[in-house]
Each structure stands twice: as C-alpha cells, then as structure tokens.
Amino acid sequence: MACTPDQVFAVLADPWVYPTWVVGASRLRAADDRYPAVGSRLHHSIGVWPLVLNDETRIDEWDPPHRLVLEAKTRPFGTERVVIEVKPRAGGCIVRIEEHPYTGAVTRLPAVITDTLLHVRNAEALRRLEWVARGRATA
C-alpha cells in the first residue's frame, strides 16, 4: 500500500469508518467507548436494506501498528476470526488479512468456496482500506 502502517492503524482505530472499508458492512450503529481496546466491540449491520442483520465485532488483540485480531459475528451465517497484519515496506506497507470462519453455516461449505469468496471480499477490503488511509493522510 502507498501509506504507512501508522496511517493504516489510524483507520483501524476509528470505528466510524468501519463500513467504508469492510465489504458487506452497511452501517455502524455504535462503538464501545473503549474502542479499540482489547475486548471492546463495534455494533454494526451487514447487508442491504431490507435484508439487514445487526451484529457485532470484538477486538481480541490490538498491537498498533503491527497486528489486529477480531472476532466478527455475522449471525446466523457464523463467526469469523480476522487477523490483520501490517509491515512497513519502502515508503509504504504490506497489509495481510486472514479470515477463518469457525462457527455457523459457513463452516459447512467446502473450503474451496469459502476461501475463494473470502479472497475476493478481502482483496476489495484491502483496496478500500488503502483508499481511506491515503485520503485521511492528505486531509
């Protein structure tokens, strides 16, 4: 990405921009006052009206500007563990997202399907995350 790890983590630390870079998130309803402290939660919605589901995401690990681990709930479909790792690289950074469903209906799908869908979704999320981080840096 053409931004620094600190710029990426500035976006990750701001709960109100969550729906701008997380593919499928339609709105943020609330965020715990302690966000992004470990254990704090984002209360978000996924989907497109009128098919909107309310759920939450919890921070399990917060180590800026290196690593963020989330437990993302998208019930009734399942719960996912999301790991975001950021490493500096020549005037920018490399950001990697790993997402693994571990509860719910999604776990019953063949890995080739979930891996493909998550790869496409997370590639777009990374594109959006960079766009937001670069935009905030120039503001």
pLDDT digits (tens, 9 = 90+) for 13-44: 999 999 999 998 999 999 999 999 999 999 99
Evaluate if residue 48 carries a pLDDT over 90: no
According to the model, what pLDDT value does residue 136 have?
A: 86
According to the model, what pLDDT value does residue 130 have?
A: 97
* CATH code of the domain in which 50 resides: 3.30.530.20
Tally the domains of the chain.
1
What are the Cα distances from residue 78, in Å, to 88, 90, 129?
A: 33, 38, 23
3-state SS of 69-102 is: EEEEEECCCEEEEEEEEEEEECCEEEEEEEEEEE
Domain range for 102:
5-138
CB atoms within 10 A of CB 132: 20
Beta strands 51-63 and 92-103, pairing class: unpaired
According to the model, what pLDDT value does residue 139 have?
A: 64
According to the model, what pLDDT value does residue 76 have?
A: 77
Angle between helices 5-12 and 111-138 (to 10 degrees): 100
Evaluate if residue 56 carries a pLDDT over 80: yes
Higher pLDDT residue, 3 or 77? 3
Evaluate if residue 138 carries a pLDDT over 90: no
Residue type (1 letter), 126: L
Can you tell me the mean pLDDT for 35-58? 93
Instruction: Using DSSP, state whether 126 is helix, strand or coil.
Output: helix
Can you tell me the mean pLDDT for 43-58? 91
Helix ranges, the chain (H): 5-12, 18-21, 111-138
pLDDT digits (tens, 9 = 90+) for 70-98: 999 887 788 999 999 999 999 899 999 99
Average per-residue pLDDT in the chain? Answer: 94
Its pTM stands at 0.92
